[in-house]
Chains A and B, each alone.
Chain A
Amino acid sequence: MTALLAILGRDLRLALRQGADTLVVVLFFVLSATLFPFGVGPEPETLARIAPGVIWVMALLASLLSLERLFQNDYEDGGLDLLTLSPISLGLIVLAKCAAHWLTTGLPLIVAAPLLAVFLGLPAAGFGQLLLAMLLGTPTLTLVGAIGAALVLGARRGGVLISLLVLPLYVPVLIFGVAAVDGAIAGLAVRPHLMILGGLFLAALVLAPWASAAALKQAVE
């Protein structure tokens, strides 16, 4: 347990001291979403209609930005060898690194989301569900992304490759994340969508660290 806290603490400290990474993700999220009023026109009805989709798609793309650094630094400086050789299981190490990654990218996205919701004129009924859905959905994005980040280690232009690998796997989160917000606005039941998001998170929580660990073992060979 101390070992896992050590990994979590180190990764958080690294992210805070190199604050640029988190800032880039949040700024990309906000800036890219503000392009939509210019692109589709400033009519409030149109913007309110597309707001849930825009916010979710931009959150997916923004979270892709930071995935590359999840294992890349450790891979380049030889630290990944030592993590693999530490007595704790590599799957748990991946889990601790994902937790740190979510705290430094997923959580800031959730904090920035209400700003965009106001900006795009999301109906007030959708606010709570948007935050709840993102709280359930963004950890899944990090966990699934970790598989992609581990698979592309050692490849040239790994960042682009991660997007191609991971984006298709993000589709379920997008569908149910948007459906939850749309449902809340239309006054329909949102529980089923949130349950499915929760289910996706639990499945990713069990499978992703294991799959990432297998890919990392390949990378250090």
Chain B
Amino acid sequence: MRLFKEPMALFEGHGLVCVRGECLVFAGLAFSLDAGGALLLTGPNGSGKSSLLRLAAGLLRSAGGSLTWQGEAVLADWESHRARLCHVGHQDPVKPVLTVRENLMFWARLRSGTSKAADAALERLGLLAFVDVPGRFLSAGQKRRLNLARLLANPVPLWLLDEPTAALDRPSTVALEEMLAAHRASGGVVLLATHAPLALPGAEELRLETFAAEANFASEAVS
């Protein structure tokens, strides 16, 4: 029996298993993040980076292991987990007939955000000049910036970012790096999958291909 309780990590995963279709993508995956921590997911295409992010959001169910926030199982109270996370996937949900502001305000109001915060987010990502432009006229990079603006419109402690720099130009990437630094400085946690170089000082790197090897080993052991 332990006399002292170990300091509990904020967001932890143990023995996570991801099965897509009939394929074992990864197995025995573990990570642990404290407040202000960042986890950089790397690995070749198909190694399960997006799946791990969806798993962390609760959109996918792990076939085993546990996922905890402050020691409590995430799926036991998925509703609170949903309220504390913001997931930016590789698609940008921008409606072509709604203006930039309307698009962002919809997602903000869904989480009781204010229009003041939404405007500040648009300014931060350099979209203030486009607020009344319909979504169909935006470039891929501008859509991505609009998607990233959700992170600032409703501040939440857990960011799950899937290839956030895709289609971003250099100044926007720098803006994102600053956003990430500010988020972590205020005690937030980031899980980020990327192929592009991105400054994320002190981030822990999780190489997903190492867990794929374990997955192959596990599936061989089963058969």
Residues in chain A within 8 A of chain B (CB atoms): 2-3, 5-7, 10, 13-14, 17-18, 73-74, 77-79, 81-89, 220-221
Beta-carbon contact of A13 and B110 below 8 Å: no
**Residues of chain B contacted by A86 (CB below 8 angstroms):** 82, 110-111
- Given A6-B109, A10-B106, A220:B83 Cβ within 8 A: no
- Please, which residue of chain A has its CB at the minimum distance from the CB of B160? A85
**Residues of chain A contacted by B111 (CB below 8 angstroms):** 3, 86-87
**Residues of chain B contacted by A10 (CB below 8 angstroms):** 95, 98, 102, 106
A8 to B59, alpha carbons, bound, how many Å?
A: 24
Sample of 7 more A-B contacts, CB < 8 Å, known A85-B59, A87-B79: A7-B106, A73-B95, A77-B94, A81-B91, A85-B58, A85-B87, A220-B59
A88 to B94, alpha carbons, bound, how many Å?
A: 20
Beta-carbon contact of A77 and B91 below 8 Å: yes
Contact with A along B40-62 (1 / 0, CB 8 A): 00000000000000000111110
Number of A-B contacts defined by CB within 8 Å? 70
Interface of chain A: mostly helix, strand, loop or mixed: helix
21 contacts between A and B (CB under 8 A): A3-B109, A3-B112, A6-B105, A6-B109, A6-B110, A7-B110, A13-B97, A13-B102, A14-B98, A17-B97, A18-B97, A77-B95, A78-B92, A78-B93, A79-B95, A82-B110, A85-B57, A85-B82, A85-B87, A88-B110, A221-B61
Beta-carbon contact of A221 and B59 below 8 Å: yes
Asked whether B126 is an interface residue with its Cβ less than 8 Å from the other chain, the reply is no
Sorted nearest first, the 6 A-B pairs with minimum C-beta distance are A78-B91, A79-B93, A6-B109, A87-B83, A17-B97, A77-B93
Residues in chain B within 8 A of chain A (CB atoms): 57-61, 79, 82-83, 85, 87, 89-95, 97-98, 102, 105-107, 109-112
**Residues of chain B contacted by A73 (CB below 8 angstroms):** 95
**Residues of chain A contacted by B82 (CB below 8 angstroms):** 85-87
**Residues of chain B contacted by A88 (CB below 8 angstroms):** 110
Beta-carbon contact of A2 and B112 below 8 Å: yes
A87 to B80, alpha carbons, bound, how many Å?
A: 7
- Please, which residue of chain B has its CB at the minimum distance from the CB of A87? B83
- Given A3-B112, A87-B79, A82:B107 Cβ within 8 A: yes
Beta-carbon contact of A81 and B89 below 8 Å: yes
A73 to B97, alpha carbons, bound, how many Å?
A: 12
A14 to B87, alpha carbons, bound, how many Å?
A: 24
**Contacting A77 at CB < 8 Å: which of B58, B92, B109?**
B92
Q: In whole Å, how far is A190's beta carbon from the nearest beta carbon of chain B?
A: 42
Beta-carbon contact of B59 and A74 below 8 Å: no
Q: In whole Å, how far is B31's beta carbon from the nearest beta carbon of chain A?
A: 20
A79 to B89, alpha carbons, bound, how many Å?
A: 10
Beta-carbon contact of B110 and A3 below 8 Å: yes
A77 to B136, alpha carbons, bound, how many Å?
A: 13
Q: In whole Å, how far is B129's beta carbon from the nearest beta carbon of chain A?
A: 22
Beta-carbon contact of A2 and B109 below 8 Å: yes
A2 to B154, alpha carbons, bound, how many Å?
A: 15
